[in-house]
Amino acid sequence: MQRWTHYRFRSVWDLDAPPALVYSLLEDAGRYPDWWPQVRRVEQIDEHTGTALIRSVLPYGIHVTLTGLLSDPARGVLEAALRGDIEGWARWTVRPAGAAGGGRTRAVYEQEVEVRAALLRRFALAGRPLFRLNHALMMRAGRRGLEARLTAPPEAV
């Protein structure tokens, strides 16, 4: 049986930067609004928890509380639990791209969530293609923003 309010997403970003640098930027969620236009606001609650307001093309902001579950630079893994308008988890896996890496990185974003916001649940069936497109556009903009951040002069980062 299809659960119209359940989503699994996966995005792959190939980037011209060393994995350690990519990881350090992805680890600093408080700075996401500096380079990711759809991450409108991030506020830290404590060392492992923060809130975020995310809004892409659709005229609806998603409010979420993120709690860090795993931050492992040696394995290149960042994982967080999500609560609020969407509930579930999100994970970044950052690895050298290709056999030798050569200063390139592959960052894989995975997310599995259940929509909890009443308005989004109400339009779950009819809106599903739009919600998926909205997410894809957000991820594309995030990749472009991170690429720009990675090529900015060091004093700008």
Confidence (pTM): 0.92
Stated as kind and residue range, the H or E segment containing 6 is strand 6-15
100-133 residues labelled b (16+ CB within 10 A) or e (exposed): eeeebbbbebebbbebbbeebeeeeeebeeebee
Q: Which CATH architecture has domain 6-152?
A: 2-Layer Sandwich (3.30)
Q: Which of 19-23, 38-42, 57-61, 87-91 has the lowest mean pLDDT?
A: 57-61
pLDDT of residue 101: 58
Residue pair 19/149 in contact by the 8 Å Cβ criterion:
no
Which tens digit of pLDDT belongs to each residue from 111-142?
Answer: 999 999 999 999 998 999 999 999 999 999 99
Which distant-in-sequence residues (6+ apart) come within 8 Å of 49 by Cβ? 65, 66, 67, 68
Closest-CA residue to 30 (of 47, 13, 11): 47
